[in-house]
Structure 1
Amino acid sequence: MQTKLVIFDRDGTINQDRDDYVKSADEWIPMPGVLDAIARLNHAGWHVVVATNQSGLGRGLYDMAALNAMHAKMHKLLAAAGGRIDAVFYCPHSPDDHCNCRKPAPGLFEQIAERYGMELTRVPCVGDTLRDLQAGAAVGCTPHLVLTGKGEKLRGKPLPDDYPAGTLVHNDVSAFADWLLQQPEPASKTVGKAASKSGSRA
Protein backbone atom coordinates (compact mmCIF):
# COMPACT_ATOMS: atom_id res chain seq x y z
CA MET A 1 0.00 0.00 0.00
CA GLN A 2 1.33 3.39 -0.95
CA THR A 3 2.35 5.88 1.74
CA LYS A 4 -0.40 8.31 2.71
CA LEU A 5 1.44 11.55 2.06
CA VAL A 6 0.41 15.21 2.13
CA ILE A 7 2.71 18.08 1.15
CA PHE A 8 2.37 21.51 2.76
CA ASP A 9 3.84 24.89 1.98
CA ARG A 10 5.23 26.60 5.09
CA ASP A 11 4.96 30.41 5.26
CA GLY A 12 1.37 31.57 5.02
CA THR A 13 0.09 28.01 5.28
CA ILE A 14 1.51 26.45 8.45
CA ASN A 15 2.85 29.63 10.03
CA GLN A 16 2.15 33.32 9.70
CA ASP A 17 3.93 35.01 6.80
CA ARG A 18 5.68 38.37 6.88
CA ASP A 19 6.35 40.88 4.11
CA ASP A 20 9.92 41.16 5.41
CA TYR A 21 10.35 37.35 5.60
CA VAL A 22 10.24 35.05 8.61
CA LYS A 23 13.85 35.38 9.77
CA SER A 24 14.04 33.82 13.23
CA ALA A 25 12.41 31.33 15.56
CA ASP A 26 10.75 34.22 17.40
CA GLU A 27 9.11 35.31 14.13
CA TRP A 28 7.91 31.76 13.38
CA ILE A 29 4.32 31.76 14.69
CA PRO A 30 1.94 28.90 13.83
CA MET A 31 -1.43 29.63 12.29
CA PRO A 32 -4.37 29.11 14.67
CA GLY A 33 -5.40 25.45 14.77
CA VAL A 34 -2.69 24.23 12.41
CA LEU A 35 -0.76 22.16 14.96
CA ASP A 36 -3.86 20.22 16.00
CA ALA A 37 -4.85 19.79 12.33
CA ILE A 38 -1.50 18.21 11.44
CA ALA A 39 -1.71 16.00 14.54
CA ARG A 40 -5.16 14.81 13.44
CA LEU A 41 -3.78 13.91 10.03
CA ASN A 42 -0.88 12.05 11.62
CA HIS A 43 -3.23 10.08 13.87
CA ALA A 44 -5.17 9.01 10.78
CA GLY A 45 -1.98 7.64 9.23
CA TRP A 46 -0.94 10.59 7.07
CA HIS A 47 2.72 11.50 6.65
CA VAL A 48 3.24 15.26 6.43
CA VAL A 49 6.16 16.90 4.63
CA VAL A 50 6.90 20.54 3.88
CA ALA A 51 8.10 22.04 0.58
CA THR A 52 9.11 25.67 1.06
CA ASN A 53 10.92 28.44 -0.77
CA GLN A 54 13.43 30.05 1.58
CA SER A 55 15.00 32.70 -0.60
CA GLY A 56 15.86 34.66 2.54
CA LEU A 57 18.89 32.39 2.71
CA GLY A 58 20.00 33.35 -0.80
CA ARG A 59 19.24 36.99 -0.05
CA GLY A 60 21.38 36.91 3.10
CA LEU A 61 18.49 37.81 5.42
CA TYR A 62 19.15 34.85 7.73
CA ASP A 63 21.48 31.87 7.89
CA MET A 64 21.13 28.10 8.22
CA ALA A 65 21.33 28.30 12.00
CA ALA A 66 18.28 30.57 12.02
CA LEU A 67 16.37 28.30 9.62
CA ASN A 68 17.22 25.26 11.75
CA ALA A 69 16.01 27.13 14.85
CA MET A 70 12.68 27.91 13.14
CA HIS A 71 12.18 24.27 12.27
CA ALA A 72 13.26 23.09 15.71
CA LYS A 73 10.52 25.33 17.17
CA MET A 74 8.02 23.97 14.64
CA HIS A 75 8.86 20.36 15.51
CA LYS A 76 8.75 21.07 19.26
CA LEU A 77 5.34 22.75 19.13
CA LEU A 78 3.98 19.99 16.91
CA ALA A 79 5.26 17.29 19.24
CA ALA A 80 3.50 19.00 22.15
CA ALA A 81 0.29 18.85 20.11
CA GLY A 82 0.82 15.17 19.32
CA GLY A 83 1.86 15.71 15.71
CA ARG A 84 4.93 15.61 13.53
CA ILE A 85 6.33 16.69 10.19
CA ASP A 86 8.47 13.97 8.64
CA ALA A 87 10.78 16.21 6.64
CA VAL A 88 11.26 19.75 5.37
CA PHE A 89 12.37 20.22 1.76
CA TYR A 90 13.49 23.79 1.10
CA CYS A 91 14.90 25.87 -1.72
CA PRO A 92 17.65 28.21 -0.46
CA HIS A 93 18.03 30.10 -3.73
CA SER A 94 17.06 33.59 -4.81
CA PRO A 95 15.02 34.07 -7.99
CA ASP A 96 18.20 35.17 -9.79
CA ASP A 97 19.67 31.68 -9.37
CA HIS A 98 17.15 30.21 -11.84
CA CYS A 99 17.17 26.87 -10.01
CA ASN A 100 14.79 23.94 -10.49
CA CYS A 101 13.76 23.79 -6.83
CA ARG A 102 12.22 27.23 -6.34
CA LYS A 103 8.46 26.92 -6.66
CA PRO A 104 6.69 27.10 -9.13
CA ALA A 105 9.44 24.84 -10.52
CA PRO A 106 8.80 21.22 -9.46
CA GLY A 107 12.24 20.33 -8.10
CA LEU A 108 11.26 20.09 -4.42
CA PHE A 109 8.38 17.79 -5.30
CA GLU A 110 10.67 15.64 -7.43
CA GLN A 111 12.99 15.33 -4.44
CA ILE A 112 10.07 14.27 -2.25
CA ALA A 113 9.04 11.64 -4.80
CA GLU A 114 12.59 10.31 -4.85
CA ARG A 115 12.92 10.30 -1.06
CA TYR A 116 9.70 8.35 -0.60
CA GLY A 117 10.16 6.16 -3.67
CA MET A 118 6.66 6.91 -4.88
CA GLU A 119 4.75 8.74 -7.55
CA LEU A 120 2.95 11.88 -6.42
CA THR A 121 -0.13 11.45 -8.59
CA ARG A 122 -3.14 12.63 -6.54
CA VAL A 123 -1.01 13.33 -3.46
CA PRO A 124 -2.56 16.44 -1.86
CA CYS A 125 -0.41 19.57 -1.93
CA VAL A 126 -1.52 22.52 0.16
CA GLY A 127 -0.42 26.14 -0.13
CA ASP A 128 -1.50 29.77 -0.01
CA THR A 129 -0.08 30.88 -3.37
CA LEU A 130 -0.40 30.01 -7.04
CA ARG A 131 3.23 28.92 -7.29
CA ASP A 132 2.79 26.39 -4.48
CA LEU A 133 0.02 24.68 -6.41
CA GLN A 134 1.70 24.96 -9.80
CA ALA A 135 4.77 23.14 -8.47
CA GLY A 136 2.66 20.30 -7.10
CA ALA A 137 0.39 20.07 -10.11
CA ALA A 138 3.45 19.71 -12.36
CA VAL A 139 4.10 16.27 -10.84
CA GLY A 140 0.45 15.24 -10.60
CA CYS A 141 -0.43 16.37 -7.08
CA THR A 142 -3.99 17.44 -6.28
CA PRO A 143 -3.82 21.19 -5.55
CA HIS A 144 -5.46 22.65 -2.44
CA LEU A 145 -5.49 26.41 -1.80
CA VAL A 146 -5.88 27.70 1.75
CA LEU A 147 -7.25 31.22 2.25
CA THR A 148 -4.55 32.17 4.74
CA GLY A 149 -1.32 34.10 4.17
CA LYS A 150 -1.29 35.42 0.61
CA GLY A 151 -4.44 33.38 -0.07
CA GLU A 152 -6.42 35.79 2.11
CA LYS A 153 -6.84 38.14 -0.85
CA LEU A 154 -8.97 35.52 -2.63
CA ARG A 155 -11.42 35.09 0.23
CA GLY A 156 -14.94 35.54 -1.12
CA LYS A 157 -13.71 35.76 -4.72
CA PRO A 158 -13.75 33.28 -7.60
CA LEU A 159 -10.51 31.42 -8.23
CA PRO A 160 -8.48 33.05 -11.03
CA ASP A 161 -8.24 31.13 -14.30
CA ASP A 162 -4.48 30.60 -13.98
CA TYR A 163 -4.87 28.24 -11.02
CA PRO A 164 -4.42 24.54 -11.86
CA ALA A 165 -7.53 22.69 -12.96
CA GLY A 166 -9.25 20.93 -10.08
CA THR A 167 -7.89 23.23 -7.37
CA LEU A 168 -9.91 22.86 -4.16
CA VAL A 169 -10.25 25.80 -1.78
CA HIS A 170 -10.30 25.66 2.03
CA ASN A 171 -10.49 28.37 4.68
CA ASP A 172 -7.34 27.12 6.39
CA VAL A 173 -5.32 23.99 7.18
CA SER A 174 -7.89 22.88 9.76
CA ALA A 175 -10.63 22.98 7.14
CA PHE A 176 -8.39 21.08 4.72
CA ALA A 177 -7.75 18.41 7.37
CA ASP A 178 -11.49 18.10 7.97
CA TRP A 179 -11.99 17.58 4.23
CA LEU A 180 -9.19 15.05 3.83
CA LEU A 181 -10.27 12.97 6.82
CA GLN A 182 -13.74 12.64 5.28
CA GLN A 183 -12.40 11.16 2.04
CA PRO A 184 -12.61 7.42 1.37
CA GLU A 185 -9.50 5.38 2.09
CA PRO A 186 -6.90 5.17 0.69
CA ALA A 187 -6.92 8.63 -0.89
CA SER A 188 -3.31 8.40 -2.14
CA LYS A 189 -3.22 4.90 -3.64
CA THR A 190 -3.92 5.78 -7.26
CA VAL A 191 -0.81 5.47 -9.41
CA GLY A 192 -0.21 7.52 -12.54
CA LYS A 193 2.80 8.57 -14.56
CA ALA A 194 6.09 8.45 -12.71
CA ALA A 195 7.38 11.74 -11.38
CA SER A 196 10.58 12.81 -13.07
CA LYS A 197 13.75 12.76 -11.00
CA SER A 198 15.76 15.87 -10.31
CA GLY A 199 19.39 16.39 -9.51
CA SER A 200 18.78 19.79 -7.95
CA ARG A 201 19.51 20.23 -4.32
CA ALA A 202 17.36 22.21 -1.93
Structure 2
Amino acid sequence: MKKAVFLDRDGVINEVLTDRVKFVNKPNELYFLPHVPEAIKKLNKYFDYIFVVTNQGGVGLGFMKETQLQKIHEHMVKELKKEGATIHEVVYCPHKPKSGCACRKPKSKLIVDLGEKYNIDLEKSYMVGDTDTDIIAGKRAGTKGIFLGAKDPLADAIFPDLISAAEWIIKDSTA
Protein backbone atom coordinates (compact mmCIF):
# COMPACT_ATOMS: atom_id res chain seq x y z
CA MET A 1 0.00 0.00 0.00
CA LYS A 2 1.00 3.60 -0.61
CA LYS A 3 1.59 6.51 1.77
CA ALA A 4 0.18 10.02 1.38
CA VAL A 5 0.07 13.46 2.92
CA PHE A 6 -3.28 15.24 2.78
CA LEU A 7 -3.06 19.03 2.95
CA ASP A 8 -5.79 21.51 3.68
CA ARG A 9 -5.54 24.49 1.30
CA ASP A 10 -6.40 27.82 2.92
CA GLY A 11 -4.02 28.60 5.78
CA VAL A 12 -1.75 25.64 4.99
CA ILE A 13 -0.76 26.21 1.36
CA ASN A 14 -1.95 29.74 0.73
CA GLU A 15 -2.71 32.95 2.58
CA VAL A 16 -6.26 33.63 3.72
CA LEU A 17 -7.63 36.44 5.87
CA THR A 18 -4.42 38.48 5.51
CA ASP A 19 -3.79 42.09 4.56
CA ARG A 20 -3.24 40.96 0.98
CA VAL A 21 -6.21 38.62 0.52
CA LYS A 22 -9.40 37.87 2.43
CA PHE A 23 -10.64 34.84 0.48
CA VAL A 24 -9.29 33.25 -2.70
CA ASN A 25 -11.95 33.66 -5.36
CA LYS A 26 -9.64 34.05 -8.39
CA PRO A 27 -6.30 32.48 -9.37
CA ASN A 28 -4.47 35.81 -8.97
CA GLU A 29 -5.62 35.96 -5.32
CA LEU A 30 -3.71 32.79 -4.42
CA TYR A 31 -0.47 33.59 -2.59
CA PHE A 32 1.63 30.73 -1.25
CA LEU A 33 2.64 30.87 2.37
CA PRO A 34 6.43 30.97 2.95
CA HIS A 35 8.36 27.81 1.96
CA VAL A 36 5.25 25.89 0.81
CA PRO A 37 6.68 24.74 -2.56
CA GLU A 38 9.88 23.65 -0.78
CA ALA A 39 7.89 21.73 1.86
CA ILE A 40 5.78 19.91 -0.75
CA LYS A 41 8.87 19.12 -2.80
CA LYS A 42 10.48 17.52 0.28
CA LEU A 43 7.33 15.49 0.99
CA ASN A 44 7.26 14.33 -2.65
CA LYS A 45 10.56 12.52 -2.06
CA TYR A 46 9.18 10.39 0.80
CA PHE A 47 5.49 9.94 -0.01
CA ASP A 48 3.75 8.33 -2.96
CA TYR A 49 1.08 11.02 -3.09
CA ILE A 50 0.40 14.56 -1.92
CA PHE A 51 -3.26 15.59 -2.01
CA VAL A 52 -5.14 18.78 -1.26
CA VAL A 53 -8.40 18.25 0.65
CA THR A 54 -10.36 21.46 1.14
CA ASN A 55 -13.77 22.79 2.15
CA GLN A 56 -14.83 25.45 -0.33
CA GLY A 57 -18.21 26.61 0.91
CA GLY A 58 -17.88 29.78 -1.17
CA VAL A 59 -19.19 27.76 -4.10
CA GLY A 60 -22.35 26.69 -2.26
CA LEU A 61 -22.81 30.19 -0.89
CA GLY A 62 -22.59 31.68 -4.39
CA PHE A 63 -19.34 33.64 -3.99
CA MET A 64 -17.79 31.75 -6.91
CA LYS A 65 -18.72 29.15 -9.49
CA GLU A 66 -17.24 25.66 -9.39
CA THR A 67 -15.45 26.36 -12.68
CA GLN A 68 -13.68 29.33 -11.00
CA LEU A 69 -12.61 27.08 -8.13
CA GLN A 70 -11.20 24.55 -10.59
CA LYS A 71 -9.21 27.32 -12.30
CA ILE A 72 -7.77 28.34 -8.91
CA HIS A 73 -6.71 24.74 -8.25
CA GLU A 74 -5.24 24.32 -11.75
CA HIS A 75 -3.25 27.52 -11.21
CA MET A 76 -2.05 26.34 -7.78
CA VAL A 77 -0.91 22.95 -9.11
CA LYS A 78 0.81 24.56 -12.11
CA GLU A 79 2.65 27.15 -9.99
CA LEU A 80 3.81 24.48 -7.53
CA LYS A 81 4.97 22.30 -10.44
CA LYS A 82 7.18 25.20 -11.65
CA GLU A 83 8.94 24.94 -8.27
CA GLY A 84 9.35 21.16 -8.58
CA ALA A 85 6.50 20.39 -6.15
CA THR A 86 3.78 17.91 -7.17
CA ILE A 87 0.18 17.79 -6.01
CA HIS A 88 -1.37 14.56 -7.30
CA GLU A 89 -5.01 15.52 -6.90
CA VAL A 90 -7.14 18.28 -5.39
CA VAL A 91 -10.53 17.36 -3.94
CA TYR A 92 -13.02 19.71 -2.37
CA CYS A 93 -16.41 20.06 -0.76
CA PRO A 94 -18.33 22.78 -2.62
CA HIS A 95 -21.34 22.68 -0.31
CA LYS A 96 -22.53 25.37 2.09
CA PRO A 97 -21.35 25.12 5.68
CA LYS A 98 -23.94 23.19 7.74
CA SER A 99 -25.40 21.61 4.59
CA GLY A 100 -25.11 18.15 6.15
CA CYS A 101 -23.21 16.68 3.18
CA ALA A 102 -20.92 13.67 3.58
CA CYS A 103 -17.87 15.37 2.08
CA ARG A 104 -17.40 18.47 4.24
CA LYS A 105 -14.63 18.22 6.82
CA PRO A 106 -14.77 17.26 9.72
CA LYS A 107 -16.30 14.29 7.92
CA SER A 108 -13.68 12.05 6.35
CA LYS A 109 -15.25 11.05 3.01
CA LEU A 110 -12.84 13.03 0.81
CA ILE A 111 -9.81 11.45 2.51
CA VAL A 112 -11.29 7.94 2.61
CA ASP A 113 -12.29 8.14 -1.08
CA LEU A 114 -8.76 9.19 -2.08
CA GLY A 115 -7.40 6.36 0.07
CA GLU A 116 -9.50 3.81 -1.79
CA LYS A 117 -8.82 5.29 -5.23
CA TYR A 118 -5.03 5.31 -4.77
CA ASN A 119 -4.61 2.29 -2.46
CA ILE A 120 -3.36 4.41 0.45
CA ASP A 121 -2.49 3.03 3.87
CA LEU A 122 -4.22 5.76 5.86
CA GLU A 123 -2.56 4.68 9.12
CA LYS A 124 0.82 5.53 7.56
CA SER A 125 -0.46 8.82 6.17
CA TYR A 126 -0.88 12.36 7.51
CA MET A 127 -3.50 15.11 7.38
CA VAL A 128 -2.13 18.65 7.78
CA GLY A 129 -4.53 21.43 8.63
CA ASP A 130 -5.04 24.69 10.44
CA THR A 131 -8.45 23.98 12.00
CA ASP A 132 -9.99 21.33 14.25
CA THR A 133 -12.14 20.19 11.33
CA ASP A 134 -9.01 19.18 9.40
CA ILE A 135 -7.57 17.22 12.32
CA ILE A 136 -10.89 15.50 13.07
CA ALA A 137 -11.36 14.52 9.40
CA GLY A 138 -7.88 13.02 9.31
CA LYS A 139 -8.39 11.13 12.58
CA ARG A 140 -11.74 9.76 11.41
CA ALA A 141 -10.05 8.52 8.23
CA GLY A 142 -7.24 6.91 10.25
CA THR A 143 -4.36 9.34 9.54
CA LYS A 144 -2.15 11.21 11.96
CA GLY A 145 -3.21 14.82 12.39
CA ILE A 146 -0.71 17.67 12.10
CA PHE A 147 -1.90 21.10 13.18
CA LEU A 148 -0.44 24.36 11.90
CA GLY A 149 -0.97 26.99 14.55
CA ALA A 150 -0.65 27.51 18.28
CA LYS A 151 -2.44 24.52 19.83
CA ASP A 152 -4.85 21.72 19.13
CA PRO A 153 -5.50 18.99 21.70
CA LEU A 154 -6.42 16.41 19.05
CA ALA A 155 -3.30 16.79 16.92
CA ASP A 156 -0.38 14.35 16.95
CA ALA A 157 1.99 17.27 16.36
CA ILE A 158 1.82 21.06 16.13
CA PHE A 159 3.99 23.36 13.99
CA PRO A 160 3.96 27.01 12.97
CA ASP A 161 4.20 26.27 9.23
CA LEU A 162 4.25 23.57 6.57
CA ILE A 163 8.04 23.43 6.19
CA SER A 164 8.48 22.62 9.90
CA ALA A 165 5.67 20.08 9.73
CA ALA A 166 7.15 18.46 6.60
CA GLU A 167 10.48 17.85 8.32
CA TRP A 168 8.75 16.19 11.30
CA ILE A 169 6.43 14.13 9.05
CA ILE A 170 9.41 12.80 7.09
CA LYS A 171 11.26 11.81 10.29
CA ASP A 172 8.13 10.26 11.80
CA SER A 173 7.32 8.28 8.65
CA THR A 174 10.84 6.86 8.35
CA ALA A 175 11.32 6.03 12.05
Under a length normalisation based on structure 2, what TM-score does the superposition of the two structures give? Answer: 0.90
Q: 2:10 aligns to what?
A: 11
| Structure 2 residue runs without a partner (length 5+) | none
Q: 1:130 aligns to what?
A: 132
Between Structure 1 and Structure 2, which shows a larger proportion of helix residues? Answer: 2
Deviation at 1:182, TM superposition (A): 2.4
Percent of paired sites with the same residue = 33
| Structure 1 residue runs without a partner (length 5+) | 148-153, 188-202
Q: 2:60 aligns to what?
A: 58
Greater shift, 76-85 or 126-135, is seen at 76-85
Highest CA radius of gyration, 1 or 2?
1
Name the SS for the 1:93 alignment partner. coil
2: CA distance between counterparts of 1:136 and 1:184? 16
Under a length normalisation based on structure 1, what TM-score does the superposition of the two structures give? Answer: 0.79
2: CA distance between counterparts of 1:175 and 1:46? 20
Deviation at 1:167, TM superposition (A): 2.3
Q: Deviations over 1:58-102 (max 9, x none)?
A: 001011221122112111211111111000110010024210111
Give the 5 Å matches for 1:86-105: 86-105=88-107
Name the SS for the 1:180 alignment partner. helix
Q: Deviations over 1:8-52 (max 9, x none)?
A: 100010111138531111111111100111011113344100110
1: CA distance between counterparts of 2:8 and 2:115? 16
What is the aligned counterpart of 2:34 among 28, 32, 35?
A: 32
The RMSD of aligned alpha carbons is 1.8
Check the 8 A contact 2:66/2:94 in 1, yes or no: no
Which 4+ residue blocks in structure 1 deviate beyond 6 angstroms?
Answer: none
Q: Deviations over 1:142-190 (max 9, x none)?
A: 000012xxxxxx3xxxx35xx32x52101110001111222353x7xxx
